[in-house]
Every structure is written in C-alpha cells, then in structure tokens.
C-alpha cells in the first residue's frame, strides 16, 4: 500500500507540475493558441496564484486589480485558469451579448456531484435540462401567479411588522419566517403550520450548505477531482461527511413537498399552488423537472430576501436622511390609514430608487461564475473552452463609468435627470442565466421595504446606558450570499 500511494503521489505531482508549467510557458512566452491569455499576477509552479487569493472582502480586492491588469484578469488555481471580469462592460459583453457560449456553469464536484446540487436549476449546465427548467418556470410564474404572490406578501405584512415591533432584535429571523412561508405557500400550498416551519428549517440548512460550496475552488476536491474517491472514513475527508449530510437534506427538501402535492392532486385535495399547476399541465412525464423548479422557487427566494432586508436595515441606520425622504413620499401618496400595496409602486419613485440603490450599493451576490463552452477571443485575449469566468458584480455596480460617486448611497441617481442604469440588470444575473424569480424578488422587496418605512422608524441600537452603538460596516464573505455584520433594529 505505501508504495502504491507513493506512486500515485508522484504521478499527481508530476502531472500538476507539467500542466502548470505549460500554462506559465504559454502565458509568458506567447506560444501556441494560448497566446494572449488575459494578464494576471505572476503564478508559481504547482500552486499557480493560490497564495494571491484574498481572504476577505474579495470583491473589493479583485476590483483593485483592475488598476493593474485591466478589466479582465487571469488567475491560475493550481493548474486551472479562472478569468475574472471586473467591469460592467466586460460582464455585459460576455455574459450578455455572447450568452450563447457563456451561459454554462463550471462543474463543482463538491456542490454538484457529492452534495447533490448538480440537478438544480442554478448549477445545471446550459442544455436541454436547463431549458426545460426555464420553460417550466415561465409557465408557472405567469401574471396570475405573480398577482397571487403579491397578495400573499401584502397579507403577511401586518403580522411581520408587529413581530418587529415586539422583537426588534429578531427582525432577520422574523423576515426569514415570513418570506419562507409565503414562498412555500406559493410553491406548494403550505400555510403557516408546523409542517411548513419544519420544512423551512431543513431548507435553511440545505441552502447554507449550498452557499458554502457553490463558488469555484472553495473545496480542494473542486480543483483536484480525484479526491472525490477518497472514502469518508479517511483522515481529512470531512468534506465527504459534510456532503453526505447535505445530500440527505436536499432529498428531503426537494422530494417531500413534491410528493405531498402529488398526493393532493391525485385525491383532489389541498390548496392551489405553483407545483400543482405544473403537474396538471405537464402530467407525469416531467416529475424531476417540476421537483427541482419548485424547490428553486422557494429555496433561493427566502435566503436572498433575508440578506437583502438585513442590508436594508443597515443602510437605513447609516443614512437616516434617505429614510426620511422615503417616508415623506409614502406619507404624501399613501397616507396613514393603510399599508402600501403593489398598486402603489408606480407612484413611489423615490422608494423604488431606494430599492435599486440598495441592490447596487450592497448587492446580495457579489461574485457569480459562468463557464464558456467554446474557444473565444475577446479584446485580443484568448479564452479557452471550459474556462470558468467569475463576474465581480460588486465592481460592476461600483463602476464610475455607470454610477457617479459610487460609494455614496444616493437613490436620486435612478431618478431624472441622472436615470442611472437599473441595478437589477446586474444584481439578478445576466443574459440567459438571469434569475427567473427576479419579478418575485422585486415584489417581495418593494412591499417589505415600503411597509417597513411606512410603519417604523429604523434607528441605531443603544446599549443599556442609552448610548448609541454605531453599526459596523462589514460583510461576511463565507457564503455565496454576502451578509452584513449583525445589527439590531
């Protein structure tokens, strides 16, 4: 056994060294078809640029590289090239205008193969399965469904606002419950029963595992795929045990609510829902597709909304003058006798500007990866097929060519005469990979933000002596969704 392990180790080391040396040679000598890979930091043999990777606030660190290497930068992660896109133009050009070949996903061994997210909408490669998912979502998220979702959110607002008043420190937990139950109701017909809350707990844990694993090269097995064959009992194979636990959660999250709706459809019972509607339209021939799009509808929705609302509370503490302007607009248009409804949206331009500026100033997702499926040339640089490209969404939304004084929180930038580009064009994905639930997300965020502003004053927390506690401006970057440092309302 020792001699076998030694042989395997020597082969792996030799292969890594040869491949890394080849990339370095091609990059810096300009030979072969790999002439003019985009520039980037000097890479080390075997390691590539692993030691150059930032450990916190990656979006800002990568954005600074634009000053040195330009808008498009190449990193070597061991032997694998990863290309970073650092401007709105490069992201729009590749993920938007050339979406026919830039709409796939990198193969994430940990998240996709080992955990079981590989069949999900978000990680499916561009192809027939992904197109089927998008078709189902388009069918199910019609005007009627969007109207029903708005009605459910409007009905949930009074109890949500009362919960914040009763327990201001728990506003994030309260909104997670509210958004989660509304999404479960729309997707599967669940109401606020114990069954629904139990499923929410499973979903929260599964989505947390997804957020940890869904960025390239977070786990070594994504860079060295042969490690997926290491047994779970082996030393340092904790990733295998984590994957096994997550796979069970995903199965429960995707299968149990689907089977409940299927039984209700067979017996003619249960509430109307997105899933039931698709079952009736598609019959039994598309069960896997319906399972995964229904899970996507409620699984990702609540997580995104919770993070966005945490950002909103932080921003209102930091920029009280913005809060006052938005409240004044609501008071003048809606008055004090009722809460805000979706029909008010077109009459509240400043509140809409607050939502757009929220998504721009502190986007929920700051780095998104796509994979190119064909060799391509862009701006004179060669991009090989199969390369992962990471869009720095934060950099695009802080691009001074699009947004003047980008560090300022100014909703007015989206109003005449400035009319800055809508931040949703970047905050919810690009091209063919744009988030299919973008309209749901915008409905939920508008209604929640507008009603919180209508009913509450958000202030900085105080300590036991009544002294103001200044909230820390910082974000956790351990997950694909970037969450703010915890604050109190």
Q: Which alpha helices (H) appear in 92-237, and where do they start and end?
A: 128-140, 143-166, 171-188, 194-213, 220-223
Distance CA 435, CA 437 (A): 5
C-beta separation of 408 from 301 below 8 A? no
Distances (CA, A) of 339 to 153, 155, 306, 334, 342: 12, 10, 21, 8, 10
Phi and psi at residue 44, to the nearest 5°:
-95, 150
Torsion of CA 67, 70, 76, 82, to 10 degrees: 120
DSSP structure class, residue 42:
P
Distance CA 183, CA 180 (A): 5
Residue 160 neighbours by CB under 8 Å, 6+ apart: 174, 175, 178, 448, 451
- Nearest Cα to Cα of residue 284 among 262, 269, 302, 305: 262
> Hey, how many other C-beta atoms are within 10 angstroms of the C-beta on 83?
24
| Bridge partner list, 462 | 468
- Taking every pair of Cα atoms in the chain, the longest distance, rounded to a whole number of angstroms, is 80
> Hey, how many other C-beta atoms are within 10 angstroms of the C-beta on 475?
21
Token representation of residue 51: 């030691």
Distances (CA, A) of 246 to 223, 257, 355: 20, 17, 34
DSSP structure class, residue 43:
P
C-beta separation of 344 from 333 below 8 A? yes
Token representation of residue 436: 């299919």
Q: Which alpha helices (H) appear in 319-429, and where do they start and end?
A: 320-333, 349-361, 393-397, 424-427
- Collapsing DSSP to helix, strand or coil, 371 comes out as strand
On whether 435 is known to bind a ligand per the annotation, the reply is yes
Distance CA 275, CA 297 (A): 10
Distances (CA, A) of 406 to 388, 395, 410, 423: 28, 10, 9, 12
Token representation of residue 250: 């995903």
Phi and psi at residue 483, to the nearest 5°:
-105, 145
Q: Which residues belong to the annotated binding site? A: 435
Q: Which residues belong to the annotated binding site for heme? A: 435
């Amino acid at each position: 056994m020792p001699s076998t392990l030694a042989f395997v180790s020597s082969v792996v080391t030799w292969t890594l060294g040869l491949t890394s040396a080849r990339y370095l040679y091609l990059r810096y000598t300009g030979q072969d078809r790999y002439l003019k890979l985009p520039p980037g930091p000097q890479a080390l043999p075997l390691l590539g640029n692993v030691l150059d990777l930032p450990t916190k606030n990656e979006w800002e660190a990568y954005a600074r590289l634009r000053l040195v290497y330009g808008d498009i930068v190449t990193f070597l992660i061991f032997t694998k090239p990863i290309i970073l896109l650092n401007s709105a133009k490069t992201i729009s050009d590749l993920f938007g205008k050339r979406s026919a070949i830039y709409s796939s996903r990198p193969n994430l061994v940990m998240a996709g193969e080992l955990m079981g997210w590989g069949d999900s909408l978000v990680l499916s490669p561009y192809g027939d399965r992904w197109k089927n998912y998008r078709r189902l979502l388009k069918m199910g998220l019609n005007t009627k469904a969007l109207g029903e979702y708005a009605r459910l959110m409007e009905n949930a607002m009074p109890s949500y606002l009362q919960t914040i008043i009763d327990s201001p420190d728990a506003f994030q937990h309260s909104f997670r419950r509210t958004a989660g139950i509304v999404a479960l109701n729309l997707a599967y017909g669940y109401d606020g029963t114990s069954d629904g809350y139990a499923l929410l707990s499973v979903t929260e844990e599964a989505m947390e595992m997804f957020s940890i694993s869904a960025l390239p090269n977070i786990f070594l097995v994504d860079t060295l795929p042969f490690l997926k064959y290491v047994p779970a009992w082996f030393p340092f194979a904790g990733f295998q045990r984590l994957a096994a636990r997550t796979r069970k959660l995903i199965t429960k999250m995707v299968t149990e609510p689907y089977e409940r709706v299927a039984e209700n459809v067979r017996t003619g019972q249960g509430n109307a829902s997105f899933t039931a509607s698709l079952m009736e339209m598609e019959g039994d021939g598309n069960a896997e597709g319906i399972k995964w799009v229904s899970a996507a509808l409620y699984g990702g929705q609540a997580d995104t909304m919770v993070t966005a609302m945490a950002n909103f509370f932080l921003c209102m503490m930091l920029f009280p003058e913005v809060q006052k302007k938005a409240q004044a607009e609501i008071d003048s248009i809606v008055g004090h006798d009722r809460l805000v409804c979706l029909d008010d949206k077109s009459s509240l331009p400043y509140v809409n500007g607050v939502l757009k500026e929220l998504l721009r100033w502190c986007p929920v997702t700051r780095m998104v990866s796509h994979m190119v499926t064909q060799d391509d040339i862009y701006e004179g640089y060669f991009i090989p097929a199969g390369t992962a490209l990471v869009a720095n969404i934060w950099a695009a939304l802080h691009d001074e060519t699009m947004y003047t004084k980008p560090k300022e929180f100014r909703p007015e930038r989206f109003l005449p005469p400035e009319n800055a580009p809508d931040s949703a064009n970047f905050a919810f994905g690009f091209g063919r990979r744009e988030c299919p639930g973008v309209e749901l997300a915008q409905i939920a965020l508008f209604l929640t933000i507008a009603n919180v502003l209508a009913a509450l004053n958000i202030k900085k927390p105080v300590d036991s002596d009544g002294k103001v506690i200044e909230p820390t401006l910082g974000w956790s970057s351990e997950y694909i969704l970037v969450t703010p440092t915890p604050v109190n309302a």
